[in-house]
Structures are given as C-alpha cells and as structure tokens.
Amino acid sequence: MTDLGAIVRDIAAEMAEATERGTVADYIAPLKAIDLARFGIALVTADGACHAAGAADEPFSIQSISKVFTLTLALGRVGDQLWQRVGREPSGTAFNSIVQLETEHGIPRNPFINAGAIVVSDMILAGHRPSEAIGEIVRFVRGLAGDEAIYVDESVARAEQASGYRNAALANYMAAFGNVRRPVEETLGVYVHHCAIAMSCRQLALAGRYLMAGGINPETGRRIVSQRRARRINALMLTCGHYDGSGEFAFRVGLPGKSGVGGGILAIAPGRAAIAVWSPGLNERGNSQLGTLALERLVQRTGWSVFEPAEDA
C-alpha cells in the first residue's frame, strides 16, 4: 500500500533542499516580503485522511485559487447563463492580459484569467453591497473547509487596490462592452478581497474536497454542486488553471489545478484526493516553481494523474 504520509514528508524534505526556487511576486507589496524558503503540502484523500508536511498550517495569500470558489458560487447563483459572459477556452496569454478582450468584444476567454474572474465577481455582486458579496464568498470558503478561522488579509487587499491599474483597465474595458455591470470600483473591491483570502495548505485541501468527490463535501454529505458541474470545473482547471502555463502543467502533472501568485496550487485527483501545495517563488509564467515540482513528484509516486490508468480498474 502507498504510504502517503511518507511520500509527502519526503517531498517536503526534497523541496527544502531545492536551489531553483523561482521569484516572489513583487507587484502586490505584502507578497514581496514572504520568505522564499517556505514550502507546505497537504492532501486529503477520499476516505478523509489528511497528510501534511512542511509549512502546511501557515496561511498564505491564495490569490487566484479563490477564482475556483467564486466560479462555483456564481454558477450556483446564475447557472449556465454565466457562460454568456465568460468563455471556456484557454487564453494562451498572461493572467492579466488585455489583448484578446478587444477582438472578443469584452468576453474574457475563461473564468480563471483576471478578466474572467472580474466578471464572475460582478455577477456575485449583483443585487448586493460589496461587503455582503465579500462576506458571502468568505462564508462559502469557510463552509467548504469546515473552518471558521479563514479570513481576508486586508493589507493584501488594500495593496492590490492601490496598485491594480491593469485590473482596473480590464474592468473598465469590459464595462464599455456592458460585461461589467456594477460600478467598476465595487466589482474590483470584491475581486481584490477574494484574492486576498489567506488560507493554509491544509485548509485549502479541505476546501477542495467537493471537486475530488463529485460535487459533495464528503465530511458533511452536503452537495455543493452537481456531479456534472464538478466535472466541468475540473476540466476548466486542467485547461485554464495555470494561465499560459496550463499546457505545461497538464504535461508535467496531469491533474486539474489552479495556481495563484501567492505561490499556492490547489490540485484535484478526482475520486482520490484534494491536494494543496505552497511555495512563494514563481516560475516565468507566474506559477509556483516548487509547488509544480512537488505535484509532479507526488503524481509520479502515486500514479494519480488523470491520464494514468486507475490501478483498481
């Protein structure tokens, strides 16, 4: 039998030795200060066991990983109509790129690039005040993880709001096409706050369980989304979850995954495990350098890639 505890401990030990650690994101001031030496890993299996190593209980800025949760929430709110305002294709461009928006009439390629996630925030905001929308997102994530301690790091939200010229450009541009419908500063306020949610690897792996378990939170038995929707969110994570590095991530790891510039990655091995890794150094595509390497090694040692024949089949 695979000793998952030993595997995650070995991976954490190997990552502690790694010399190529990438570069910390520097465009959101508080993220600059994070120690490049940090590494954490946690996974929760289908039977509820949790294995963790390294800094698995240290909260970090989940940034774009939050887009998985806001997409889930917005789909619950507006259903498949969401796809009239956001596409489902990989962008092949950077996370904050504006180039495709002009030719594609303000419809972002997918919900995981910044433009797409801003539209999703705009949908969650509809009919609410920004503080209510932010509160709803945080409560949703706490419920998924079963942990009331999850919080928004206000200093990160404020720093991003102060320097978020590109996201403001994206939002204003989409507003010109009628695809951001609430006041732009309110929509951006919701967006930066959900990006500023702080979570540990353990909390993140727990929050991702519904995507591992066909849409059900295995702890509470509560259905979060239909099985079909969980499958589709996983498909989007596989094809679009790492921006213009999504092909490379699928090639190396072969799991649905969503990265964030805080250095976290949430990866899903459907039917098997929800996995979170964190190391703040990013590669040239803005995805965690060691997080990706750690997941690559985990998949090699467990055979969990979605492209691998199941051992028990």
Closer CB to ligand GLU, 182 or 194, in the complex = 194
State yes or no: residue 264 binds ligand GLU (CB under 6 A).
no
Q: Are 157 and 192 in contact (CB under 8 A)?
A: yes
Q: Is 27 a catalytic residue?
A: no
Q: Which residue has the tokens 């991976």?
A: 11
Closer CB to ligand GLU, 167 or 179, in the complex = 167
CB of 95 to ligand GLU, least distance (A): 4
Q: What is the Cα–Cα distance from 69 to 81, expressed in whole angstroms?
A: 17
Mark 106-145 with x for binding to ligand GLU (rule: CB under 6 A) and - for no binding.
--------x-------------------------------
State yes or no: residue 304 binds ligand GLU (CB under 6 A).
no
Q: What is the Cα–Cα distance from 289 to 36, expressed in whole angstroms?
A: 11
Q: Are 185 and 202 in contact (CB under 8 A)?
A: no
Q: Is 173 a catalytic residue?
A: no
State yes or no: residue 152 binds ligand GLU (CB under 6 A).
no
Amino acid identity, position 171:
A
Closer CB to ligand GLU, 45 or 63, in the complex = 63
Q: What is the Cα–Cα distance from 116 to 108, expressed in whole angstroms?
A: 5
Among the listed residues 8, 24, 64, 253, the single catalytic one is 64
Backbone angles phi, psi at 28, to 5 degrees: -115, 110
CA angle 167, 241, 244 (to 5 degrees): 70
Q: Is 64 a catalytic residue?
A: yes
User: 110, 167, 203, 283: which one contacts ligand GLU (CB under 6 A)?
Assistant: 167
Cβ neighbour number for residue 77 with a 10 Å cutoff: 15
Q: Is 261 a catalytic residue?
A: yes
Tokens representing 52?
A: 């963790």
Closer CB to ligand GLU, 40 or 214, in the complex = 40
State yes or no: residue 96 binds ligand GLU (CB under 6 A).
yes
User: In terms of Cα–Cα distance, which of 240, 298, 244 is closest to 269?
Assistant: 298
Closer CB to ligand GLU, 165 or 307, in the complex = 165
Q: Is 67 a catalytic residue?
A: yes
Q: How many residues make up the chain in this entry?
A: 313
**Binding-site ranges for ligand GLU (CB under 6 A):** 63-64, 95-96, 114, 160, 167, 195, 260-261, 286
Question: Which residues are known to be catalytic?
Answer: 64, 67, 191, 243, 261
